[in-house]
Structure 1
Amino acid sequence: MKRETLPNRRAGETIGFDFRGAAYSATFSRFPDGRLAELFIDASKPSNDAADDARDAAVCLSLALQFGTPEAAIRAALTSDGAGRPAGILGAALDAIVEEGAPQ
């Protein structure tokens, strides 16, 4: 399968969210048809293990999306707690994008 590349210059949106008591920001962009194309996650305290994990998770999500994996399939595969809330940073970021009312 071929990777769907993005233009060098593209619109992006940044939102803030909290996860496990820490502040994060998520910057994301979309393909021209509206599908999520990439995600960057930054922690308010960038020099810690959680910040590194968040950045790496976002890179993996971005690559999966660009190679054609549907966002819904990724969301369904992510771990949730007993109440259906995301157990990890990637699910929390995706939920924050939806909760902010960003188009899907």
Structure 2
Amino acid sequence: MAAESATDRALIARLAAHTKWAGTEDRTAATAAARAAFVDHFEREVDPDGVLDPAERAARAASAKKAFYTRMALRSAQVRRARRKARNVNTTSPATA
């Protein structure tokens, strides 16, 4: 199946994902390695030399993960705000402004 456009590629990828998950018995087991790697990433970020106590490393990794998601939320809010502003500028006519 040759993808001719970005839209086609996105639809093909979505189809593949739905097909995979339709045949997956244990979703938790299927994503366990990815979830572990995600946690490991934050642990390596806060303790690259592996010298911290495991409990301290886990606490710092949890904070790093919260910072990651908070940063994503901030960027998302900024983009939504910019899009809303652009949409309002484009729909406001000079007579009503």
Q: TM-score w.r.t. structure 2 length?
A: 0.23
Higher helix share: 2
More strand by share: 1
Bigger CA radius of gyration: 2
